[in-house]
């Protein structure tokens, strides 16, 4: 804040003070006969502590913003993926949202930038193998999954609130013998921070 | 604030100050011999700037509240809709939630009241044409979709986090030759503001 | 706050004030000739009111944190449930998240700890009866549902934003003649507070 703006600030404050006094002529507010300079010192000190408390709480409350969403493939053409001979991490390539930069479209992994309660969800379209079994993993452990053996051109969705520590990794795995398809908007992976912990 | 309440406020402050001093008799706090009236001026000025900063941040932080949800039809009877010869915006008529008044049940369009990160989701039940292809559009552009050709009495769901500018419009389109059904609670369209940007 | 830290705080404040003045030698800030002790009283009083307002708003803003998620069964073995001769509340036993302790895994009921806008969602896998009709109820009233008669090994999902009063109860009911299956992660029930009202 420049000296000029500080000066203006103070002038404004004093002007408002005059207005305040003019509008409250009968007010006994911080009356010179009742409020000594020592009282003022105490009041200023109290204010300093209260403002410091407000400031520190504000920092605590500085709500981090984390959200991502991505579709599996960038091409609008129908693309089937799998089946593979091993469990395969799905790498969602068409990133729509990545606030907080937690999602890595090179690896398919979302890494929680802060500890918090997240909502994570996933939709997968059954590929032409006719079976889709895929799971959302947290640090390699199965959290929730979709399972559909009813043939291609249908989908499954699932989602959960999960507590994630900072650095926890979320990804989607396609299990052996299954396939998924997309055309840039049918198979999606999304999440966001609901509140920090 | 009335003069009386201001007076009471000050009296309370002074009383608390006495208590504070009584409870900290050995404290050298704003000692008259160390803290001159000029120091007081500087401290008050600093406090004014800090409080002004807190106040302006508070205004920024005044979190807008936006959320909507609606089912396709109000009737509890099974109702099939489509297929149509042109792409048709689905107008979800049974509004359950509309905080912030962003959803218009006359048009089916949700208009973002503020810029922010939203979560938008959609569930559609395949109608008796046996095929449901429907998309969530942002200002007319396909964001994400569901596609199911496996016959009636099943559904697809999809959802994404999306950054919306103030005034951006979100709607659901049923593509040509497809149909959807509902009985007031099976085909739904919902969204909410996760955080403003 | 200890007397020592208060003392340090004041000393720091004065030191910062000197730095501020040194860095703004040409500033006419709270000039002794222009700012009388009475002006100081007014400024301090204004600050007290502004800080009090900030403090009370802060208390209003103390955002409650509520979120839950659970899968239907704890066993990783495939388990089919139903059909039953009466509507049956599904009791999701494998609790993944229960911040705010609103979800009761003995009853399957989520009770809103505070009034607010919640997002509630549900995924169910069709059991070996081949038909899954299940609804999310609020205080016994059907809010939204999934309906799938296309045979086992597929799923339906649905979700909605709902305004809940404190004490409102949300549960999932499996209707007569239907069945659901799970293996600890396929059929899930989740929700969270988006914002308090």
CB atoms within 10 A of CB A71: 25
pLDDT digits (tens, 9 = 90+) for A39-56: 888 888 888 888 888 887
pLDDT at residue number A63: 79
- Which residues in chain C (111-150) have CB-CB distances under 8 A to chain B? 117, 119, 135, 142-150
pLDDT tens series, chain B, 197 aa? 444 544 444 443 443 343 333 333 333 456 667 778 888 888 888 888 888 888 877 665 567 999 999 999 999 999 999 999 999 999 999 999 999 999 999 999 999 999 999 999 999 999 999 999 999 999 999 999 999 999 998 999 999 999 999 999 999 999 999 999 999 999 999 999 999 99
C159 contacts A146? CB cut-off 8 A: no
- Sketch the domain layout of chain C as residue ranges: 3-61, 67-196
Cα–Cα distance, B69 to A83 (Å, whole number):
37
> Does pLDDT of C59 surpass 70?
no
B11: which 2 tokens? 């009296």
Looking at chain B, which subunits does it touch, using at least 3 CB pairs closer than 8 Å as the criterion?
A, C
A51 contacts C51? CB cut-off 8 A: yes
For tokens 């003995």, what's the residue?
Answer: C106
Cα–Cα distance, C193 to C116 (Å, whole number):
7
Q: Does the beta carbon of A15 lie under 8 angstroms from any beta carbon of chain C?
A: no
pLDDT at residue number C103: 98
Q: What percent of the residues of chain C are helix, what percent strand, and what percent coil, each to the nearest 5?
A: 25, 40, 40
CATH number of C67-196: 2.60.120.40
Closest CA to C119 of A137, B95, A160: A160
Cα–Cα distance, A126 to A116 (Å, whole number):
32
Do strands C103-104 and B132-138 pair parallel, antiparallel, or not at all (unpaired)? unpaired
pLDDT digits (tens, 9 = 90+) for C9-45: 444 344 333 333 333 333 345 666 777 888 888 888 8
pLDDT at residue number A30: 67
B108: which 2 tokens? 């089916």
Question: With contact defined as beta carbons under 8 Å apart, do A187 and A172 qualify?
Answer: no
| Residue B193: closest C-alpha in chain A | A194
Cα–Cα distance, A29 to A35 (Å, whole number):
9
3-state SS, residue B19:
helix
- Which residues in chain C (40-59) have CB-CB distances under 8 A to chain A? 40-48, 51, 54-55, 58
3-state SS, residue B10:
helix
Angstroms from B186 CA to nearest CA on chain C: 5
C94: which 2 tokens? 């494998």
- Nearest by CB: B54 against C21, C54, C148: C54
B14 contacts A46? CB cut-off 8 A: no
Do strands B116-126 and B188-196 pair parallel, antiparallel, or not at all (unpaired)? antiparallel
pLDDT band at A12 (very low <50, low <70, confident <90, very high): very low
Closest CA to C185 of A173, A117, A78: A173
C26 contacts A3? CB cut-off 8 A: yes
pLDDT at residue number B117: 97
pLDDT digits (tens, 9 = 90+) for A126-176: 999 999 999 999 999 999 999 999 999 899 999 999 999 999 999 999 999
ipTM of the complex: 0.75
Test the A interface: residue of C31, C34, C41 with most A CBs within 10 Å: C41
> Does pLDDT of C4 surpass 80?
no
pLDDT at residue number B62: 63
Question: With contact defined as beta carbons under 8 Å apart, do B163 and B197 qualify?
Answer: yes
pLDDT digits (tens, 9 = 90+) for A57-105: 766 556 799 999 999 999 999 999 999 999 999 999 999 999 999 999 9
> Does pLDDT of C96 surpass 90?
yes
pLDDT at residue number B123: 98
Closest CA to C101 of C65, C59, C137, C73: C65
Whole-angstrom CA distances from A38 to A34, B41, C11 are: 11, 13, 17
Residues of B in contact with C20 (CB under 8 A): 42, 46
């Amino acid at each position: 804040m420049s000296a000029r703006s500080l000066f203006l600030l103070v002038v404004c404050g004093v002007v408002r003070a005059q207005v305040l006094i003019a509008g409250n002529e009968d007010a006994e507010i911080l009356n010179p006969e009742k409020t000594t300079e020592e009282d003022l010192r105490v009041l200023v000190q109290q204010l300093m502590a209260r403002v410091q408390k407000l400031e520190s709480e504000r920092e605590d409350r500085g709500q981090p913003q984390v959200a991502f969403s991505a579709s599996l493939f960038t091409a609008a053409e129908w693309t089937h993926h799998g089946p593979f001979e091993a469990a395969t991490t799905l790498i969602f390539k068409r990133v729509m949202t990545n606030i907080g930069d937690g999602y890595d479209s090179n690896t398919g992994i979302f890494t929680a930038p802060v500890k918090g309660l997240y909502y994570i969800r996933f939709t997968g379209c059954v590929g032409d193998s006719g079976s889709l079994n895929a799971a959302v993993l947290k640090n390699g452990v199965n959290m929730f999954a979709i399972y559909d053996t009813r043939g291609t051109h249908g989908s499954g969705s699932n989602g959960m609130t999960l507590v994630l520590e900072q650095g926890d990794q979320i990804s989607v795995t396609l299990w052996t013998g299954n396939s998924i398809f997309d055309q840039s908007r049918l198979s999606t992976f999304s999440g966001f921070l609901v509140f920090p912990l």
